[in-house]
Amino acid sequence: MTLSLRPWILAASVLSFSAYAEPGENTYKQVCAACHASGVLNAPKFGDKAMWAPLIAEGQPTLTAHAYVGVRGMPPKGGNPNLTVEGFSDAVAYMANKAGGNWKTPDAKTLAAINKEIESRKASLNKKP
């Protein structure tokens, strides 16, 4: 009987570790780390305060919205079309905070500002010269 419990104990311990992850940490590990861990295509490296400082200075709604739509070498939603604005925002806040930012998990007001900036960014990208 002891042997049959081992898979359940392992599964429970893995699930409990996920429950203690900071908001955005799991999304960072599953999506963002592919580029931000090593700086692929000049992506700001995770925890690099010098690279992140000017981005953090843009402000949470602006940086999050531009990254969500796609900016510089980064594809929209970090390449994961299934990411919600909320999940993506948590991951950006997590990365910014690990590089010296002091961002909170976006509340309704911040999410509204992010969504407004997303629409503005999309409109400016769709304008034909």
In the structure, what pLDDT confidence band is assigned to residue 19 with cuts at 50, 70 and 90? low
- Looking up tokens 């419990």 gives 5
The CA distances from residue 91 to 7, 64, 88, in Å, are 30, 9, 5
**Cβ contact 22:94 at 8 Å:** yes
Region 10-26: mean pLDDT is: 67
Domain at 23-126: CATH code: 1.10.760.10
Spatial CB neighbours of 107, under 8 Å, sequence gap ≥ 6 = none
Express each pLDDT in 23-56 by its tens digit. Answer: 999 999 999 999 999 999 999 999 999 999 999 9
pTM of the model: 0.83
Express each pLDDT in 98-111 by its tens digit. Answer: 999 999 999 999 99
pLDDT of residue 1: 46
The DSSP result for 9-51, as a single string, is HHHHHHHHHHHTSPTTHHHIIIIIHHHHTTTGGGPPPTT-HHH
Intra-chain end-to-end CA distance of the chain, in Å = 71
